[in-house]
Amino acid sequence: MGKDSSDLFGALFDAQKVNRVVPVLVPLPVPEAYSYAVPEGMAVEPGSVVQVPLGPRQVIGVVWDGTDDVRLDPKKLRPITLAFNCPPLTREMRAFIDWVSAYTLSPPGLVARMAVRAPAALDPEPMVEALRYRGGEPERLTPARARVLDLTRDEMPWTRSGLAHAAGVSASVIDGLVKQGLFDTVFLPPPPVVALPDPDYVEPRIEGPQKQAASEIVENMQAGGFSASLIDGVTGSGKTEVYFEAIAEALRKGRQVLILLPEIALTASFLERFQDRFGAKPAEWHSDLSPRLREKVWRGVVTGEVRVVAGARSALFLPFEELGLIVVDEEHDPAYKQEDRVFYNARDMAVVRGRIGDFPVVLVSATPSVESQVNGQSGRYHMVHLPTRFGEAAMPDLHLVDMRRHPPDRGGFLSPVLLRAVKKTVENGHQALLFLNRRGYAPLTLCRVCGHRFQCPQCSSWLVEHRFKGQIQCHQCGYAEKTPEACPECGTLDHLVACGPGVERIAEEVEKHFPDARTIVMSSDLLGGVKRLRLELEAIAKGEADIVIGTQLVAKGHNFPLMTLVGIVDADLGLANGDPRAAERTFQLLSQVTGRAGRTGLKSHGLLQTYQPQHPVMQAIVSGDPSAFYEREIGEREKALLPPFGRLASIIVSADARADAEGHARGLRAAAPRVSGIAVLGPAEAPLALVRGRHRFRLLVHGRRNSDMQAYLRQMLANGPKVRGSVHVQLDIDPQSFL
């Protein structure tokens, strides 16, 4: 079927004249595509983005693969309402969506929805109206008019507002000249959302081991086809410079590039660095973009106008026209796991997308995930090492502070050892970072008289005091109330005590010890949002703070030249929960945070406050030899058949009533097929037993590495009880969270 986009796309059709049937994925949790009739004269093909009626609504869907069902009479089906004027999703993109759907056991329509934008992005942007000097002189030449004419006499077109701005005149001055017939109205294509990056804008900045690393990766790419590489290098070793060369290679081949970053909204410095290397910024993709900009970027990506996107995990579902490389920076970061509707890990799915699209994928980390580490060792990923920091910079000297031997003052959390180090650092004119991965003032508030604990009314979690805001908040659901003066249980006034520290409380302690120091608290919940955080990160980088107190926000990728001390307030914090990745996570987070220090050649230190200095994770971090940690961790996983040596899937059953959730979970357990190599654990009440008023039960399915987990789960769900009432069943393949 021919396609004449000029008059067919975007038009409405007579619903009566239909000639064939196509499958369309609609954004609903249903297992397969729905059938729609194609009105006569409408050209659609697999991948076409369309609008279709669904009940009383109109929704956006995607024409899918599969043969038209000849048994269906097109006249009895509802017709597609319209086809948008945008390129269809490529065959690769459709295969990727099908793959993710099958792997995560998510409805294909919900996966496809992640790839398609709001209607405004689906049609081309309108042309921009502009003015071009036609000739002639105004009746009266005022200075303002003269300025306008000076700018326009070369007959280059200007937008009305652009011209007014450039000439420093009001719009009415321009209107006056237009009225006198001095200008023609012309239409210009809308400006591109970003300029084109140039792979050879500057000479590459790589030397020593970086050169070797870059050439290995580029050679890999020149061989063509899919490959997965892992750049494993300490913080500050130049991993970014190395993968820039991979990007340059992909650009030279005329392919588009996707760079995934865990905290893109906060990495303004990354965009500038990219611009220094390629002469233009990449397009950004994250949830803090305005809807209009998102539409422009989406459209630029499908049409091929945008060559490089730097984005958060959701950028993986952008329908690139000719994607040729994905870089996953900080590949170990838990932020790559989406736990909402479609549960997926963008790092793993990036590798899948590369395999389907037959192009290379480069994973990057200073502390690779155990999964990637094993893939690297087995040769499945091509491993590239950068063992030392670039230039003068040395890794910080790391020491444990045994809190049993050096306890803090009563009511305090900072040991005398750490306080002395902070003092010295500030006296030297350098910066200290105190890291505590806990927002707010105190994780628990209780009444000294009756012991009442403040709990969220809708969740099984304690309310966290946020003293700056005068609130107690639930970190699960966002519930907040004004911090009460009296205990709601016994009525006693002023007897509430804060238990344990959050960053705000550490700030208070710092204030007491260093009243003259300039301190900044960095935490995602503070007022001002991303804008303020960006400004504060810049201020810190410029040396405008002496002591920074922060959550994991400060751990990621930032470069603070004057930072020579990192103090970990509670190194044991992440080890306590029953998560199989607790050791790995703690190791990664603490390595990342201590890696903030000494990036410019100044001698630097890291002090980790711990009550268990003998713990293997603590020992591994201070030894400066990550391989010992990985070896041990990999051994433990192998013994217990934990990922990547075995497979896990979670089933989370929730309902308004506890009995409903529990009953359904038990029903699923009873329906579990009996096969060797796969076992079901639970159901058990989830550690977060109540979230937003919903009761939660969990089952954990544990299988051998080669077991077909998806087939097993599908069978379990099919044999299990029907989902009724408020019951919701959520599957989580390769779970990261066990709460």
Binding site for ligand ADP (CB under 6 A): 205-207, 210, 233, 235-241, 390, 559
Find where tokens 């000479």 sit: 203
241 is in the binding site of which of Zn ion, ligand ADP, none (Cβ under 5 to 8 A by kind)? ligand ADP
Residue type, 439: R
Q: Shortest Cβ distance from residue 24 to ligand ADP (Å)?
A: 44
Contact with Zn ion (CB under 5 A): which of 351, 474, 648, 661? 474
456 is in the binding site of which of Zn ion, ligand ADP, none (Cβ under 5 to 8 A by kind)? Zn ion
DSSP 722: P
First CA to last CA across the chain, in angstroms? Answer: 52
Q: Shortest Cβ distance from residue 459 to Zn ion (Å)?
A: 3
210 is in the binding site of which of Zn ion, ligand ADP, none (Cβ under 5 to 8 A by kind)? ligand ADP
Residue 690 CA to residue 737 CA, distance in Å, equals: 15
Q: Shortest Cβ distance from residue 94 to ligand ADP (Å)?
A: 34
Q: Shortest Cβ distance from residue 733 to Zn ion (Å)?
A: 27
733 is in the binding site of which of Zn ion, ligand ADP, none (Cβ under 5 to 8 A by kind)? none
381 is in the binding site of which of Zn ion, ligand ADP, none (Cβ under 5 to 8 A by kind)? none
459 is in the binding site of which of Zn ion, ligand ADP, none (Cβ under 5 to 8 A by kind)? Zn ion
Contact with Zn ion (CB under 5 A): which of 63, 122, 221, 456? 456
Question: Which one, of 157, 109, 624, 605, lies nearest residue 366 by Cα?
Answer: 624
Residue type, 637: R
Residues 6+ apart with CB under 8 A from 572: 610, 611, 612, 615
Q: Shortest Cβ distance from residue 672 to ligand ADP (Å)?
A: 45
Q: Shortest Cβ distance from residue 699 to Zn ion (Å)?
A: 24
Residue 395: is it exposed, middle or buried by C-beta count within 10 angstroms (0-12/13-18/19+)? buried
Comparison of 241 and 572: residue with beta carbon closer to ligand ADP: 241
235 is in the binding site of which of Zn ion, ligand ADP, none (Cβ under 5 to 8 A by kind)? ligand ADP
Q: Shortest Cβ distance from residue 318 to ligand ADP (Å)?
A: 24
Comparison of 193 and 384: residue with beta carbon closer to ligand ADP: 384
Residue 136 CA to residue 202 CA, distance in Å, equals: 46
Comparison of 237 and 445: residue with beta carbon closer to ligand ADP: 237
Question: Which one, of 384, 358, 322, 349, lies nearest residue 223 by Cα?
Answer: 358
Comparison of 270 and 454: residue with beta carbon closer to ligand ADP: 270
237 is in the binding site of which of ligand ADP, Zn ion, none (Cβ under 5 to 8 A by kind)? ligand ADP
Task: State both tokens at 356.
Answer: 């389907």
Give me the phi and psi of 687, to 5 degrees please.
-55, -40
**Which H, E and C letters describe 241-276, residue by residue?**
HHHHHHHHHHHHCCCEEEEECCCHHHCHHHHHHHHH
226 forms part of the interface with Zn ion (CB under 5 A): no
Comparison of 491 and 624: residue with beta carbon closer to ligand ADP: 624
Residue 690 CA to residue 655 CA, distance in Å, equals: 10
Comparison of 218 and 487: residue with beta carbon closer to ligand ADP: 218
Q: Kindly list the distances between the CA atom of residue 560 and the CA atoms of 208, 443, 571, 594, 597, in Å, as whole numbers in the listed order.
A: 24, 29, 22, 12, 8
651 is in the binding site of which of Zn ion, ligand ADP, none (Cβ under 5 to 8 A by kind)? none
Near Zn ion in 257-296, by CB under 5 A: none
480 forms part of the interface with Zn ion (CB under 5 A): no
E strand spans, 201-359 = 227-233, 256-260, 283-285, 308-311, 323-329, 337-338, 344-345
Comparison of 492 and 559: residue with beta carbon closer to ligand ADP: 559
Comparison of 262 and 720: residue with beta carbon closer to ligand ADP: 262
Q: Kindly list the distances between the CA atom of residue 650 and the CA atoms of 342, 700, 737, in Å, as whole numbers in the listed order.
A: 13, 5, 9
Q: Shortest Cβ distance from residue 557 to ligand ADP (Å)?
A: 7
522 is in the binding site of which of ligand ADP, Zn ion, none (Cβ under 5 to 8 A by kind)? none
Q: Shortest Cβ distance from residue 232 to ligand ADP (Å)?
A: 10
117 is in the binding site of which of Zn ion, ligand ADP, none (Cβ under 5 to 8 A by kind)? none
Q: Shortest Cβ distance from residue 692 to Zn ion (Å)?
A: 6
Question: 3-state SS of the chain: helix, strand, coil percent to 5?
Answer: 35, 25, 45
Give me the phi and psi of 199, to 5 degrees please.
-60, -20
* Full DSSP string of 579-602: -TTHHHHHHHHHHHHHTTTTTTS-
Phi-psi group of 372: left, alpha or beta (phi > 0 → left; psi -120 to 50 → alpha; rest → beta): alpha
Q: Shortest Cβ distance from residue 270 to ligand ADP (Å)?
A: 9
Residue 67 CA to residue 69 CA, distance in Å, equals: 6
477 forms part of the interface with Zn ion (CB under 5 A): yes
476 forms part of the interface with Zn ion (CB under 5 A): yes
Comparison of 233 and 703: residue with beta carbon closer to ligand ADP: 233
Q: Shortest Cβ distance from residue 394 to ligand ADP (Å)?
A: 13
| H/E element, 565 | strand 563-568
Comparison of 476 and 559: residue with beta carbon closer to ligand ADP: 559
Comparison of 267 and 736: residue with beta carbon closer to ligand ADP: 267
464 forms part of the interface with Zn ion (CB under 5 A): no
Comparison of 236 and 683: residue with beta carbon closer to ligand ADP: 236
As beta bridge partners, residue 62 has 25, 49
524 is in the binding site of which of ligand ADP, Zn ion, none (Cβ under 5 to 8 A by kind)? none
Q: Is the Cα dihedral 193, 197, 201, 204 positive or negative? A: positive
Q: Shortest Cβ distance from residue 471 to Zn ion (Å)?
A: 13
Comparison of 463 and 537: residue with beta carbon closer to Zn ion: 463
479 forms part of the interface with Zn ion (CB under 5 A): yes
Q: Shortest Cβ distance from residue 241 to ligand ADP (Å)?
A: 4
Residue type, 680: V
Comparison of 261 and 309: residue with beta carbon closer to ligand ADP: 261
* Full DSSP string of 77-105: SPBP-EE-SSPPPPHHHHHHHHHHHHHHT
Question: Which one, of 655, 641, 638, lies nearest residue 702 by Cα?
Answer: 641
459 forms part of the interface with Zn ion (CB under 5 A): yes
Residue type, 302: V
Residue 74 CA to residue 68 CA, distance in Å, equals: 10
Q: Interface with Zn ion by CB under 5 A: which residues?
A: 456, 458-459, 474, 476-477, 479
